[in-house]
Structure 1
Amino acid sequence: MDDGRCGRSDYEYLAEIGEGAYGKVFKAREIGEKQRLVAVKKLNLPGDPETGIPAFMIREVALLRKIEYFNHPNIVKLLDVSACVRNQSLDLTLVFEYIDQDLTTYMNCAENGLSREKIKDVMRQLLKGLDFLHSNMLVHRDLKPDNILVSSHGEVKIADFGLARIYTYHIALTPCVVTLWYRAPEVLLHSGYMSSVDVWSAGCIFAELFLSRPLFRGFTEAQQLQKIFELIGLPNEEDWPKESPIRYSLAWSPTCMSRPGTQVLPSLGMEENDLLLGCLAFKPSNRISACRALAHPFLAEF
């Protein structure tokens, strides 16, 4: 199998474990002394290599290089990067530490669902990773169970930084970020957003850990908004983002009162419900931060 260095391979490829628009991810083993397992992300760009590496790839590598210096336990580690030109195409290879499974697989393996203590542990680690990113002015923008890895030792690591960005105050970025089911209202409303979009996604994941299914399963942006308002209530008009091209209307959620509910999921206890409400606040400025969430009574370590 060809490798990213055009001529020699430092890895023995064992299995294909993922595929995306630009390439594939393989489980591999290092050749040599260490023989550790790694995940090799091979990206291939057909066409004129002189046009260079696409911005999103440069961004992912640059961000991973920036954060690898800190060696945070809840961020997947980038071990190696290589690029070369082959047959009028550009090959880029990223090598990461290998993690056994993603959060979706981890949840599916629990026949009777995850225990409250397991959920607490996953959320604590996830929010520690998010707090680290946000403290370094990074917003992930595509947080979902498939992009959260869980090792056989229960270590939770945030992965896939292809959509991540360094943010400044109230950035207005492309709305085509975050998988639809985990997308914050301000993104659905094509409004400016900040790191709080990641906290909304974390809130959706938090609920999913209890439900064993996604909390909001819309198939269009409009349907996704309606499902959100059916659960948290239609916000007041003054909280609707003024820059949104989508107009406020009571018709968005005809079955709900305009005042948000106080019990998001009937099965939740008082502490977890309060944390979930904080993550799923409609107005970004009212949404709890990752740092504050870690100090919440449900997650605080005593």
Structure 2
Amino acid sequence: MINNPDQFNQNIETNEEAPYFIENFDKQLELYKFKNVKQSRNITYQYFKRSKLIIDQRYVLKEEISYSSYEYKCKAYDNKSHQDVQINYYFFYSQYQLKEILKAIEIQKFLNHENIEKIYNFNFTSYPEINEMYVVSDFMQTSLNYIIQSEQQLTEDHIKYFMYQILRALHYIHSAKIVFVQLEPKLIKINSDCSIKISDFIWCIGNQNQEIETNYVNQYYYMSPEYIVEQMGTEKSDIWSAGCIFAELISRRKLFTGYEYPQAITQILKFCGKQNEEDLKYYKIINRERLLKSMPKEKQISSLQAYFPNANPLALDLLGKMLTFNLDKRFNALECLQHEYLADLYDPQEEFTCDQEFDWSFLDQKLTEKEIIMRLYKNQLFFQEN
């Protein structure tokens, strides 16, 4: 951590000692650019509630949003853009965390959609060890999780508008060959005008079923069966997650509450009913056999109307298409948008896809920690130059 920011800046300006980690970075970034990045920061200590943060003076911290051992979120005012922003202050403990932050920044820099959180800036704040940084993004007033758990009345129009925005964001994300993987209400930010933005792209994978890190998954409430059983994430997996959120908006309670694998898959099988071998063709033989043994005898335990007795029949029809066990039969995002339930909101002229696919090749290169840091510095330059 920087113990004396003034002395740090002075050393850079006088070039008394070039940062040690530049020497072995294969000259990927000229030292003068690195200096310019450092010189452009008017960093200062800001004491806020329980934390001492190192933040650019342009940001005035206003309100704590959340706090954990590795991340601090707060609301701030940007004196340059004259708007409220959210600052996510990260504390790193491993190369894995650095890589996940890099992935999220690369993805959110690439995507451009009104229902997706936008990143405006980020900076490293520790030296010589790279173990702290902050990211500046859109400020949203609350999360969908808070709304669901509150006593706020949700009308049919509310639910319909929320789902429309979630699905159009997923349609755009999937067109870039990105799978969100762990979509849940707390990652869907919302303002008082009911506009939403999907945030936190740390868990994303490519559509070619890249390896998913599962060590940090501690709940399965919104996970698709293929993810739970096979750690397989596809675009249709996001639709399952969106379906779970849809059901929660209707009933104001979680549809599935299994905290661990056995309970989670048992609840899903009970909800979906008996499946045949064709429905399980994407599962490995050993897992297929286990699932068949666990199947309920009935084709479906009860109708969706029994689960949600007061729900709109059209809403339940769409929900059923989203929560289909068979991947081939489950709707994709565009099919959901075109469903009759969303007919009064969906306009093909207003929907658009990403004009190119996201390049995942940097994740296949087995980057070293220094290479990850260099890519982060390049991204830092991008935000400061734009």
Match of 1:297 among 316, 320, 340: 340
Q: Give, in angstroms, the shift of residue 242 of structure 1.
A: 3.4
Aligned to 1:163: 203
* CA 56–172 in structure 1, closer or farther in 2 if over 3 Å, else same: closer
Residue pair 1:175, 1:188 contacting (<8 A) in 2 also? no
The reply on whether 1:148 has 2:196 as its aligned counterpart is no
The structure in which a higher percent of residues are helix is 2
Could you say what the CA RMSD is over the residues aligned between the two structures, in angstroms?
A: 2.7
The reply on whether 1:12 has 2:60 as its aligned counterpart is yes
Encode CA deviations 1:131-179: one digit per residue, 9 max, x unaligned: 11011111111110100011111101111111112322x5453455594
Distance of 1:136 and 1:249 partners within structure 2: 33
Distance of 1:205 and 1:234 partners within structure 2: 23
SS of match in other structure, 1:38: strand
Q: Counterpart of 1:88 in structure 2: which amino acid? A: E
Q: Give, in angstroms, the shift of residue 102 of structure 1.
A: 0.1
Return the structure number with greater relative CO, CA threshold 8 A, min gap 6.
2
**TM-score normalised according to structure 1 size:** 0.87
Segments of 4+ moved more than 6 angstroms: none
Structure 1 window deviating more from structure 2 (57-66 vs 74-83): it is 74-83
**TM-score normalised according to structure 2 size:** 0.69
| Unpaired runs of at least 5, structure 1 | none
The reply on whether 1:108 has 2:149 as its aligned counterpart is yes
The reply on whether 1:288 has 2:331 as its aligned counterpart is yes
Q: Give, in angstroms, the shift of residue 260 of structure 1.
A: 7.0
Q: Give, in angstroms, the shift of residue 81 of structure 1.
A: 1.6
The reply on whether 1:40 has 2:78 as its aligned counterpart is no
The reply on whether 1:85 has 2:115 as its aligned counterpart is no
Structure 1 window deviating more from structure 2 (201-210 vs 149-158): it is 149-158
Aligned to 2:220: 180
Q: Give, in angstroms, the shift of residue 191 of structure 1.
A: 4.9
Aligned to 1:189: 229
Residue pair 2:219, 2:260 contacting (<8 A) in 1 also? no
Residue pair 2:247, 2:319 contacting (<8 A) in 1 also? yes
Match of 2:313 among 239, 258, 270: 270
Distance of 1:259 and 1:53 partners within structure 2: 42
Percent of residue pairs identical: 24
Q: Counterpart of 2:64 in structure 1: which amino acid? A: E
Q: Give, in angstroms, the shift of residue 251 of structure 1.
A: 4.8
Distance of 2:331 and 2:187 partners within structure 1: 22
Structure 1 window deviating more from structure 2 (223-232 vs 84-93): it is 84-93
* CA 239–206 in structure 1, closer or farther in 2 if over 3 Å, else same: same
* CA 37–187 in structure 1, closer or farther in 2 if over 3 Å, else same: same
Residue pair 2:270, 2:301 contacting (<8 A) in 1 also? no
Q: Give, in angstroms, the shift of residue 44 of structure 1.
A: 1.8
Q: Give, in angstroms, the shift of residue 114 of structure 1.
A: 1.2
* CA 89–266 in structure 1, closer or farther in 2 if over 3 Å, else same: closer
How many corresponding residue pairs?
Answer: 292
Q: Give, in angstroms, the shift of residue 263 of structure 1.
A: 2.7
Aligned to 1:201: 241
Encode CA deviations 1:92-125: one digit per residue, 9 max, x unaligned: 21101110000012223444x4111110011001
SS of match in other structure, 2:254: coil
Encode CA deviations 1:27-70: one digit per residue, 9 max, x unaligned: 111134x43111000112258xxx69721111011001111xx3
Bigger radius of gyration, 1 or 2? 2
Residue pair 1:278, 1:287 contacting (<8 A) in 2 also? yes
Residue pair 1:144, 1:179 contacting (<8 A) in 2 also? no
Aligned to 1:242: 283
The reply on whether 1:122 has 2:162 as its aligned counterpart is yes
The reply on whether 1:217 has 2:261 as its aligned counterpart is no
Distance of 1:208 and 1:52 partners within structure 2: 32
